[in-house]
Structure 1
Amino acid sequence: MRGEAGLRDDLRALSIRFAEHDHAAVFTVAESDAVHAAMPGAHTKNLFLKDKGGAFWLVTVPSDARVDLKRLPAAIGSKHVSFGKAADMERLLGITPGSVTPLAAINAVPGSITVVIDAALADAYLVNVHPLRNTATLGLAGGAILDLLRRWGHDPLIATIPVQEPQ
């Protein structure tokens, strides 16, 4: 697994500009809201999922999105999905819950997981994601995230992720 050192090497190799923010560990979107309040750009939420066929999915959406898990499979071309297990996350991505990020795909064998990026984030000027740990945030362009994923052998799926209506 290439880890954060490999991520930084690839950021340099691709001349990707980013802002880095170190902070206290955050484990939930609610915890991260206070930390991220002063950071410009789109903030993210990441779902590590497994479908009925045994395929794994890493779905990145805006942090305020309430993903409609019943409609999600149709949007991404999957079967019924449920949350993946921490052991599978660690085995496939080399990270633990609370540190989920599309950048963890650096550790994944191509084809072992499908990375899905919400269309709004893919086009965003600045997207905030963890650098494989939940004690820092990197702000970089959505297009740069896609470039990194492709460099690592993953063809990201860009989709409009269905959300639940506000109650």
Structure 2
Amino acid sequence: MAEVRGEDGLKADLAALGIAHEVHEHQAVFTVEESQGIKAALPGSHTKNLFLKDAKGAFWLLTVPAEAPVDLKALPEAIGCKRVSFGKPDDMERLIGISPGSVTPLAMINAEPESITVVLDVGLAAAETVNVHPLRNTATIALSGANILRMLGHWGHEPLVAAIPTK
């Protein structure tokens, strides 16, 4: 588990693990649509994140390509759960310490192991450059999918890499 949480902990862990990354500062963005201009300027895969809760009450953080229209009806079979719905913002803040608009797999630095299952799209997991938020929506951090998985493991999370069904 990370000793220091939040963005300071994230920076420290990136340095300690020697993970190559680039941080790009920008205006706040809350939706995939709002980030179109930023995406055009940054190479690599861009993401969107869904904070979900399944029928048994378990929480899931799904990271997929920004343009992917996720099929929420088919998703449970692909990731091994029952029906999913969107999680509430207060659960998001309590479990991963961030608010809607800043969701990122890197927020798992703030989460207790096994409190949330992180699912990374198989294409993103293999990508050389994946762009995600560094715990805030006023910046984008670019790193490889393999290094996202490495960070998650470093924080005690076992991510699921899956082919995410789309509509």
TM-score range, shorter-chain basis? over 0.9
For 1:135, the equivalent position in structure 2 comes to: 138
For 1:25, the equivalent position in structure 2 comes to: 28
Paired with 2:131 and 2:119, the residues of 1 have a C-alpha distance of 16
For 1:69, the equivalent position in structure 2 comes to: 72
Give the letter aligned to residue 145 of structure 2: G
For residue 82 of structure 1, report the CA deviation from its aligned partner.
Answer: 0.2
Q: Structure 1, residues 41-61: CA drift from partner, whole Å, max 9, x if none?
A: 000000000001000000000
> Of residues 100, 105, 110 in structure 2, which corresponds to 1:107?
110
Q: Does 1:148 align with 2:151?
A: yes
Q: Percent identity?
A: 66
Q: Does 1:92 align with 2:63?
A: no
RMSD of aligned residue pairs (Cα, Å)? 0.7
Paired with 2:81 and 2:134, the residues of 1 have a C-alpha distance of 27
Q: Which runs of 5+ in 1 are unaligned?
A: none
TM-score normalised by the chain length of structure 2: 0.97
Paired with 1:19 and 1:111, the residues of 2 have a C-alpha distance of 29
For residue 136 of structure 1, report the CA deviation from its aligned partner.
Answer: 0.1
Paired with 2:97 and 2:119, the residues of 1 have a C-alpha distance of 18
For residue 36 of structure 1, report the CA deviation from its aligned partner.
Answer: 1.7
Q: Does 1:162 align with 2:148?
A: no
Q: Structure 1, residues 2-40: CA drift from partner, whole Å, max 9, x if none?
A: 000000010001100101100000000000111221100
For 1:83, the equivalent position in structure 2 comes to: 86
Q: Does 1:48 align with 2:41?
A: no
TM-score normalised by the chain length of structure 1: 0.97
For 1:14, the equivalent position in structure 2 comes to: 17
For residue 135 of structure 1, report the CA deviation from its aligned partner.
Answer: 0.1
For residue 130 of structure 1, report the CA deviation from its aligned partner.
Answer: 0.1
Paired with 1:13 and 1:158, the residues of 2 have a C-alpha distance of 25
Q: Structure 1, residues 57-111: CA drift from partner, whole Å, max 9, x if none?
A: 0000000000000000000001100000000000000000000000000000001
Q: Does 1:3 align with 2:11?
A: no
What count of residue pairs does the alignment treat as equivalent?
Answer: 164
